[in-house]
Amino acid sequence: MFDVYRKEIEWGGRTLTLETGKMARQADGAVLARYGDTAVLCTVVAAKTPRPGIDFFPLSVHYQEKTYAAGKIPGGFFKREGRPSEKETLTSRLIDRPIRPLFVKGFKNEVQVICTVLAHDLENDPDIVAMVGTSAALCLSGAPFLGPIGGARIGYKDGEYILNPTMDVTRTESELDLVVAGTEEGVLMVESMASELSEEIMLGAVNFGHDSFQPVIKAIIELAEAAAKDPMDLPESPLDLDAIRGKLEAACKADLEAAYDEPNKSERQNKLAAAKDKALAAIEDEAEKEAAKGLMKGLEADIVRGRILDTGKRIDERDTKTVRQIVAEVGLLPRTHGSALFTRGETQAMVVATLGTGQDEQIIDALEGEYREHFLLHYNFPPFSVGEAGRVGSPGRREIGHGKLAWRAVKPLLPSKEAFPYTLRVVSEITESNGSSSMATVCGTSLSLMDAGVPLARPVAGIAMGLIKEGDKFAVLSDILGDEDHLGDMDFKVAGTDKGVTALQMDIKITSITREIMKVALEQAKDGRMHILGEMGKALTSARDGVSDTAPKMISIKIPVDKIRDVIGSGGKVIREICEVTGAKIDIDDDGTVKIAAVEQASLDAAHNWVYSLTAEPEVGKIYDGKVVKTLDFGAFVNFLGPKDGLVHISQLTSAKRPEAVTEVVKEGDKVKVKVIGFDDRGKVKLSMKVVDQETGEDLEAAAE
């Protein structure tokens, strides 16, 4: 019934299986990719005709995780999967980025890729499996895809690279989490987070990954040779595109060249719009006019790229290595815990840091289990930042991706939760954009966190690099403009400290780049990063001493695990009472870590003393404040440490003459100061008042010595 084709290889110590012909047979291409016990069904459907009236390639990639893959039922009221999670959105982008440049230029048919996680072994991340399966499905589909591509995750531990480390190793042991994808010839995409590794180590990881996925590419080719569908027929345009381009050049090339002599973005856009309108007005045929809109970008690209390669002259007249003027400011906003305004040329990010408590942590329900995240970074890109009136709503894929890149860049420098128990939320509002607002977010995040008193190990900065490549000639551009990004061949972002790289992201718009180009880009990015760090240092070089007055005060203490129930109380009665009376917030972890937060120092101290009194054990020789709870003929019982009582024998009430009755010295309800002088045979606490100055709390025995 089924014509099943399967290819198996041993890869990174586990078996990779690619199977087609059994599932989703009505899709143009369908592959069940399995690695270990993680399985992803990858399907491709390509429309047979182009979508009319568009000048872009309509590719959509959807990666979706089904909770049954990990033997779970979705949370929430509806009990079914809902809107894509951040992980699903980021993985969709991860797959889209390396496959998009490999479709035949001019192909305008809609292509939809859907990757469904069917099984997750909680060891092998499905993202690489989905990427490999997508590559195989595209090669089987008959769509004009110039693949295949391969992909791999690379870790780094004890000076050695690790191919496809397990999720646990990546989280807890590896100094690097790098995903690389590319063709047989070169690299197309890199995404990584690193613990301040050198450029040499990062480049080595990329090269190691490229070499490591070559067997995967070979396996996909062999599967395609056995099971691929016939290639799609690509319709030829009835129009003479060369003639249309000639008309455009005659009508507006000089105007376009003049527009690209304008360094100001707004003025340049106005001149470009006028030049395009003039050119389109010279073409009467509607079909030719529609084709001309797509050809305009090629004409613009030739002008910008040719100038850079021939003369080294960029749009704003910088050379290839110069970074635009930088202005860094901190402490701009009142009441916020930390704020920064980072301006680089015509790109500007206003970044605000807020400190919260453990109750503000984000609970993330992932396939591999629920966990809490205490560092949140949200990136917003309003339309006014590029002078447009546009949609305002929930964040899109681009905003989520840019925010995650900045998150990866800063995360390795954060103090541990034990050393700094705050929940951190950073919001980057892009107020102007003309090139790499994500790297401006990295710089602004570093400054705002330091302004908030967060003790970062070192400041972090980022820079975006571009590439213009024609044949053997190439130019690497530091701190690219928006136009250089759109018309160039590479978007290469590097973030890090003066010690090393913390995040690297690369996207290539051509079929691949060489290792030589990557090396040049990394070295040039390092020089640019050092310059930016120097400019940032004019505003702030390290964290402020102490958090903002408007931030919650917080301390973290450790109590014995068997004392947790004493602090919580029956049904949470005790902890609720502490919070209501003192106004503090209290979080208790299973390991006995207690985090106490309050706006006022007095509230913090009161809550801390209360928790301490409930969990501490009496110490011989230590003086405590207490309250007389009962008087008897032989002494007084004093409550002095939470629920703990001790006996002050009548002989220990006063240093004066022994009283005839206890009530001559104290009565029930009196506040007294007592010293622990020992324990009786039954472990009961013995207290003394006479060795303590009841006014000052001074230890009279110690003073006498």
Q: What is the pLDDT of residues 537-553, one digit of tens each?
A: 999 999 999 888 888 88
Range list for CATH 1.10.10.400 in the chain: 241-311
Which tens digit of pLDDT belongs to each residue from 182-202?
999 999 999 999 999 999 999
- Write down the CATH number for the domain with range 623-704: 2.40.50.140
Stronger pLDDT, 115 or 662, i.e. the higher one: 115
Which tens digit of pLDDT belongs to each residue from 596-623?
988 888 899 999 988 888 887 888 888 8
Stronger pLDDT, 445 or 678, i.e. the higher one: 445
Cα separations in angstroms, 148 against 38, 183, 478, 495, 692: 21, 6, 31, 30, 83
Range list for CATH 3.30.1370.10 in the chain: 553-615
**What distance in Å separates the CA atoms of residue 75 and residue 302, rounded to the nearest whole number?**
53
The first and second tokens of residue 327, run together, are: 């202005």
Which tens digit of pLDDT belongs to each residue from 454-496?
999 999 999 999 999 888 888 999 999 888 888 888 899 999 9
pLDDT given for residue 705 in this prediction = 60
Range list for CATH 2.40.50.140 in the chain: 623-704
Percent of the chain with pLDDT over 70: 99
Which range is most confident: 211-225, 465-479, 587-601? Answer: 211-225
**What distance in Å separates the CA atoms of residue 507 and residue 94, rounded to the nearest whole number?**
10
pLDDT given for residue 321 in this prediction = 92
| Stated length of the chain | 705
What is the chain's percent helix, strand, coil content, to nearest 5?
35, 30, 35
pLDDT given for residue 670 in this prediction = 92
SS3 325: coil
The first and second tokens of residue 175, run together, are: 């100094």
Q: Alpha-carbon torsion 497, 325, 429, 356, what sign?
A: positive
pLDDT band, residue 21 (cuts 50/70/90): very high
Any known ligand binding at 491?
yes
pLDDT band, residue 268 (cuts 50/70/90): confident
For domain 241-311, give the fold.
Answer: Arc Repressor Mutant, subunit A (1.10.10)
pLDDT exceeds 80 at position 350:
yes
Which are the contacts of 51, defined by CB distance < 8 A and separation ≥ 6? Answer: 58, 108, 109, 110
**What distance in Å separates the CA atoms of residue 384 and residue 388, rounded to the nearest whole number?**
5
For domain 5-227, give the fold.
Answer: Ribosomal Protein S5; domain 2 (3.30.230)
pLDDT given for residue 131 in this prediction = 98
Task: Determine the average pLDDT of the residues in 264-285.
Answer: 83
The whole-model pTM stands at 0.86
Per-chain mean pLDDT for the chain: 91
pLDDT band, residue 304 (cuts 50/70/90): confident
pLDDT given for residue 225 in this prediction = 95
pLDDT given for residue 366 in this prediction = 87
Which tens digit of pLDDT belongs to each residue from 619-656?
888 888 899 999 998 999 999 887 788 999 999 998 88
Any known ligand binding at 177?
no
pLDDT given for residue 447 in this prediction = 98
pLDDT exceeds 90 at position 115:
yes
pLDDT exceeds 90 at position 340:
yes
pLDDT band, residue 704 (cuts 50/70/90): low
pLDDT band, residue 12 (cuts 50/70/90): very high
For domain 326-536, give the fold.
Answer: Ribosomal Protein S5; domain 2 (3.30.230)
**What distance in Å separates the CA atoms of residue 44 and residue 207, rounded to the nearest whole number?**
29
Of the candidates 36, 58, 50, the residue with the CA atom closest to the CA atom of residue 132:
36
Range list for CATH 3.30.230.70 in the chain: 5-227, 326-536
pLDDT band, residue 288 (cuts 50/70/90): confident
pLDDT band, residue 238 (cuts 50/70/90): low
pLDDT given for residue 495 in this prediction = 97
pLDDT given for residue 275 in this prediction = 83
Of the candidates 113, 132, 136, the residue with the CA atom closest to the CA atom of residue 222:
136
Task: Determine the average pLDDT of the residues in 391-406.
Answer: 92
635 beta partners? 632, 649
**What distance in Å separates the CA atoms of residue 380 and residue 429, rounded to the nearest whole number?**
5
201-205, 483-487, 579-583: range with lowest mean pLDDT: 483-487
pLDDT exceeds 90 at position 227:
yes
Q: Which CATH class is domain 553-615?
A: alpha beta
